[in-house]
Amino acid sequence: MKFFPMFLRMADRRVVIAGGGEQAAQKARLVLKTDAALSILATELDNELQAIVNEGRAEHHTGPIGVAQFADAALVFIATGCPGMDAALHAIAKAAGATVNVVDQPDLCDATTPSIVDRDPVVVAIGTEGTAPVLARRLKTDLEVMLDPRLGSFAALAGRLRDAVAKRVPQPKRRNFWRWTFKEDPWQAHKRGAERQAADLLKQAIASGGAPGTSDLGQISLVGAGPGARDLLTLRAVERLQEADIIFYDRLVDPEVLELARRDAERVYVGKVLGTTQWPQHRINEVVLRAARQGQRVVRLKSGDPSIFGRAVEELETARAAGIPVEIVPGVTAASAAAAALSRPLTARGETDRVTLTTGTLRPGDDQPDWAQMALPGSLLVLYMAVHKAAEVQENLLSGGLPGDTEVSVVASASHPHEKILECALDEMAECIAAKGIENPAVLMIRCPKDMATGCAAGTP
């Protein structure tokens, strides 16, 4: 970022606008939304600015402009409409040590004015560093529609009650209290116009020491991070990330996904690196459970979907045995992402009427499955994390009777910028995977012909 976004305190501070025409009036409209004292430097003012001065909302300086006029200003806008005059005034303002915005001259700007969505005291500022003001205005329009007009008054009500919450609601329960406030009954009541009911609900909850239905225990959410691209997360997944006090994530979770989390949420890497026992499953269960017992809202962030080869059973059973509320938030699984990358559906009427999801990564000591038994005519066999066993899969399927020209698609890192796609015949699958250097995470997608002899799936060529 070339510009750091932040909000400046404007009460009891001075803002200077140099200029008396429409450009200056535009900046004045923004400044008048704040508590700043406004000074306008110009020999003449248009009707709007003159009215502002006449109403006592700004002071007007008509004399020569020097360093003194910009001294101690929190912010200076230069908007005379004359490039030469703007440049000269910019030099004087900088000599006074001011932070300066020169209209339509980005190279002379220390600060830029964002597009603003105003739900005072809730304010959303949208900036493009001066590169795309039209885009900023479009985003402003989208947010104006998204944010309820009553949001500001409700935020103000909540703000008036903050001291009472600090006194009556214990620290571990406060985050959940505010989540309930802005998401559930109080906000819903206020939004439909029942302001008094909303206030009563908040005051009753404060008096009782927390939001209704809360306990000292936390909550565990097993959240699917999808295949990688953060815009493939569900809305519920994003919501849980933004509510979480602590996030335990594995090695396949893209760092971009973690950017959606609350800034002050603790992040703990519990990835299992192949060939090591740094984070065995029982240890992950223990640390997740410990955090929940401390009253924290815990997210166990898993790539793909937690219910599909995500070891969710162990973590669900551990939480339930301890009496901790637990939920699964599904994610886009790798098979769906791979199909999207190929622009081919997982099923096709008359060709592929069933999909089988299986894995090539087993527990140590487990027998290798007979993948050929799963390769039924007219089916799509999808093997997760199996490229390191491509030769064994290929041999098993061919010996089970699948034709050598059976279509195979291999998709690695689906939805990532470094996604790789390979399409080949079954009898050359292992060789092609090795030649292209494809590694996990990847899926093998074997399309079993509809007219394949049924005996092939039974291992009788």
Would you kindly state where each structural domain of the chain is located, as residue ranges?
Answer: 14-113, 158-208, 219-329, 336-457
Type of residue at 14: R
Stated as kind and residue range, the H or E segment containing 299 is: strand 297-302
Q: Is the model more confident about 175 or about 196?
A: 196
Alpha-carbon gap, residue 350 to 258, rounded angstroms:
41
Enter the tokens of residue 37. Answer: 């004292």
3-state secondary structure of 49: helix
Q: How many CA atoms lie within 13 A of 183 on its CB side?
A: 12
Q: Which residues are catalytic?
A: 250, 272
CA neighbor of 326 nearest in space, from 304, 297, 303, 302: 297
Least confident residue range of 283-292, 423-432, 450-459:
450-459
Amino acid present at 245:
D
What's the rounded Cα separation, in Å, for the pair 354 and 221? 30
Query: In whole angstroms, what is the distance from residue 244 CA to residue 240 CA?
Result: 6
Tens-digit pLDDT profile for residues 305-358 = 999 998 899 999 999 999 999 999 999 999 999 999 999 999 998 889 999 999
Burial class (CB in 10 A: 0-12, 13-18, 19+), 197: middle
Structure tokens, 223: 């959240």
Q: Which CATH class is domain 219-329?
A: alpha beta
Residue 241 has pLDDT above 90, yes or no: yes
User: Considering the chain, what is the average pLDDT of its residues?
Assistant: 91
In this structure, which topology does domain 14-113 adopt according to CATH? Rossmann fold (3.40.50)
Query: Does residue 259 have a pLDDT over 70?
Result: yes
CA 19, CA 369: separation in Å to the nearest integer? 79
Q: What topology does CATH give the domain 336-457?
A: 3.30.950
CA 90 to chain centre: 39
Is beta strand 420-425 parallel, antiparallel or unpaired with respect to 407-412? antiparallel
